[in-house]
Every structure is written in C-alpha cells, then in structure tokens.
Amino acid sequence: MYKSFAEKLSEPDLIDLGDGIYVVRFEVMKVTSVYAAVKDLLDRGVIQPGQTLVDSSSGIYGHALALVCRALGLKAHIFASVAVDAAIRTQLKYLGATYTQVPSSGDDGLQHDQETRVRLVHAYMKEHPDAYWMQQYHDDVHYIGYESVANTIVKELGSTGITVVGGVGTGASTSAMSRYLRASCADVRVAGIQPFGSRSFGSEAIPLDGFIIAGIGSGIRFDNIDYSAYDDIHWINFDASAAGCRSLLSQTGVFAGLSAGAGWQVARYLRAENPDGGPIVFMAADPGHRYVERVFPPDGPIEQDPDFRPKVITDLADMAGPWSTMNWARRPYAVEDDLPVYVPQT
C-alpha cells in the first residue's frame, strides 16, 4: 500500500509499444524527482517539517512540489509561468500551495519568462529567509528519484544495447537516467530532445515556435545538465511534436504531452535507422489533457500527419526546423548567464 498519492505518482509505468520501443509513462514526471529530493533534504536536516519550499515552474514541477509538500508536511510557493493553466492552478490551490503567476512575456519568449521567474525567486528569498529554494534548474538532488526508474528498466529489458530518449529540460531526467543506467549498462545511448529557442544546446538563435513546450528547453543556464551524458541531440518544433502526439495516441493508445510526441518521433526514427538494435525507451512526462485544444482538436476528421524526418547536421550553424539532429558525442558545453548568483542558506 502507498503512503500517499505523491508516492504512487512517483512510480511510472513501463509499457511495451512493439518493435522494440518502450515508453516510461508518468502521470506527473516531476513527482519522481521532487519526492525523492525532498525526502533526502528532510533526512539530511537541510529542510525542516513545516518549512516553505519555493521554486519556478512552467507547470509540472509546481504541481509536483505542491503534491509532495502536502504529503510530507511542508508548504509550497510557486512562481508560475503563463503556461500554467487553470487545471494546475486549481490543484495548487486545493493542495494548499500559493503561487505567483508571471504575466505573458510576449515576443521575448522562453528566455525572458524564465529569467523573470528566477529573479522573482531571488527577491522572495530575500524577504523570506526561512524559506528554501529547491533550485530545480541547478541542484542535482533532483537526480535521485530516477535511480529506481533506471533499475526497473534494467530489470525488465536487460543491460545491453539500451537507448534512452527524452527531453533535456533541467537535466533531472535524461541526465539522471544516463548516470544510473550506465552504472550497470556501459553501452547505454542517450538521445536528448530540445525545442528551438533553447539555450542549453545552442538553438537560441532560432525563434521558439511553441511556448507550451518550453518545459524541455532553457532560457537561462541550467547547472544540473550533464552535457557529456548525451550521445545525440534532437531539436524538434511544435508541429513535429504535435504530429507525434497524435500518432502515439492513434497507434498505441498512449495519451501524452508534447515532449512524449517528440520522443515517439525520435524513437521511431532511431528504430528505422537500426531495425535490429536494442531496446529504445522514451519518456512521457505527462498526459495530454493540457494540450487538447492545440494538439488534439476534437472536431473534424483525423488527418494523416506529415512524415517528419530530421535534418542531420554536424554544426550548430546548420540547424533548421522542423527537426534537426546532431551526434553530440558526449561533448561538454557552456552557457553564459547574467542572473545573480544565489547563495543558499546554511
């Protein structure tokens, strides 16, 4: 029996979709990282019961933090992006979390929104020194929860020839999975997904075409990304990701969000490139409810989606939509950032 709903949601489902492709399907992916991270911080005495935990979120992380705080006897305050919709705001309210929603950043897109939210966190911490900033963009304490996910994959699929596909985001998913899988599977390949407009892997010069997928990209420097974990990077736009969502639902029954649609596109491409290769596992971070209006229009016929294929590049300067891919070859990378440095409480 689970001790809380948060504990239940921290355990995703591994589903066989056929043709050697598998999906790790989460209800709220960030619960996996937040639940383990908060328990670790409590166990080490870094935070105390009843304390307020603070962070910035474009949706899933804020919901996860509110769930975990309710389960473990803490409070939460979220600086929410404009992408946080009424469904998530309602859950934050009833879970006892407070939030400040940042107004739309207009044409400034992903970078300005994240910079604004993080600056607001800095200001909040100065006014509330007894609060604790979770720093989902920077602290690799968020890696811990993915160890059990990696162990499940190895138990079910073995330890040879696995490829993991997923959004890069803050790094606390695919970077974490690479760490734990490679502890027992040296030949694991990791394919990271980025939206255009993200600074993490050098696509900031290409305009962000869909704010709703900003959760897998970065407008600021994320310090908990392990750039050397990634064998390949795929930059995918909204249209290709949305087509992947529709294909995933119609072909497998999995109703999931845009990062999963992008993952399904990449997984099928990799399988076509290597039909006899090992298991390909992609990560589905959330269900598709918040994307219905833009991705799954309920009216009208189901049309055949375009057959998207990536442009293979060897230089970031050659990147172009709707989909580009590059052999990253586990190289290092650096992103400059002019945000103020936060000194955590001791």
pLDDT average, residue stretch 18-22: 98
How many CA atoms lie within 13 Å of 88's alpha carbon, on the beta-carbon side?
Answer: 27
- Identify the pLDDT of residue 339: 57
Q: Identify the domain containing residue 278 by its residue range.
A: 5-29+143-327
Contacts 24+ apart (CB under 8 A), 41-46: 41/132, 41/141, 42/72, 46/132
Are 126 and 208 members of one domain? no
Band the pLDDT of 112: cuts 50, 70, 90.
low
Q: Over 90: is that where the pLDDT of 240 sits?
A: yes
- Identify the pLDDT of residue 320: 93
Are 307 and 230 members of one domain? yes
Domain count, the chain: 2
Cα–Cα dist 263/80, whole Å: 25
Alpha helices in 49-106 (DSSP H): 60-72, 86-94
Task: Answer whether residue 338 is part of any domain.
Answer: no
Band the pLDDT of 213: cuts 50, 70, 90.
low
- Say which CATH number the domain at 195 has: 3.40.50.1100
Reported as a single tens digit per residue, the pLDDT across 156-173 is 999 899 999 999 988 889
Mean pLDDT comparison of 107-116, 260-269, 288-297, highest-scoring range: 260-269
- Is 261 or 339 the better-scoring residue by pLDDT? 261
Q: Over 80: is that where the pLDDT of 103 sits?
A: no
- Identify the pLDDT of residue 209: 61
- Identify the pLDDT of residue 110: 53
Band the pLDDT of 281: cuts 50, 70, 90.
very high
Are 54 and 190 members of one domain? no
Are 176 and 308 members of one domain? yes
Reported as a single tens digit per residue, the pLDDT across 35-53 is 999 999 999 999 999 999 9
- Identify the pLDDT of residue 346: 43
Boundary (domain end) residue, out of 140, 174, 208: 140
Q: Over 60: is that where the pLDDT of 211 sits?
A: no
Q: Over 70: is that where the pLDDT of 345 sits?
A: no
Are 186 and 303 members of one domain? yes
Cα–Cα dist 151/159, whole Å: 10
Band the pLDDT of 92: cuts 50, 70, 90.
very high
- Identify the pLDDT of residue 23: 98
pLDDT average, residue stretch 195-200: 90
Cα–Cα dist 192/14, whole Å: 19
Q: Over 50: is that where the pLDDT of 123 sits?
A: yes
Are 206 and 64 members of one domain? no
Closest C-alpha among 196, 191, 233, 232 to residue 213: 196
Q: How many percent of the chain have pLDDT more than 70?
A: 92
- Identify the pLDDT of residue 16: 98
Rama region for 253: left / alpha / beta (φ>0; ψ in -120 to 50; rest): left
Reported as a single tens digit per residue, the pLDDT across 125-156 is 999 999 999 999 889 999 999 999 999 999 99
Residue type, 115: E
The owner of tokens 């993200």 is 198
Are 190 and 321 members of one domain? yes
Band the pLDDT of 342: cuts 50, 70, 90.
very low
pTM of the model: 0.92
pLDDT average, residue stretch 285-290: 90
Are 128 and 178 members of one domain? no
- Identify the pLDDT of residue 243: 94
- Is 258 or 58 the better-scoring residue by pLDDT? 258
Are 200 and 109 members of one domain? no
Q: Sign of the C-alpha dihedral, residues 29, 79, 220, 113?
A: positive
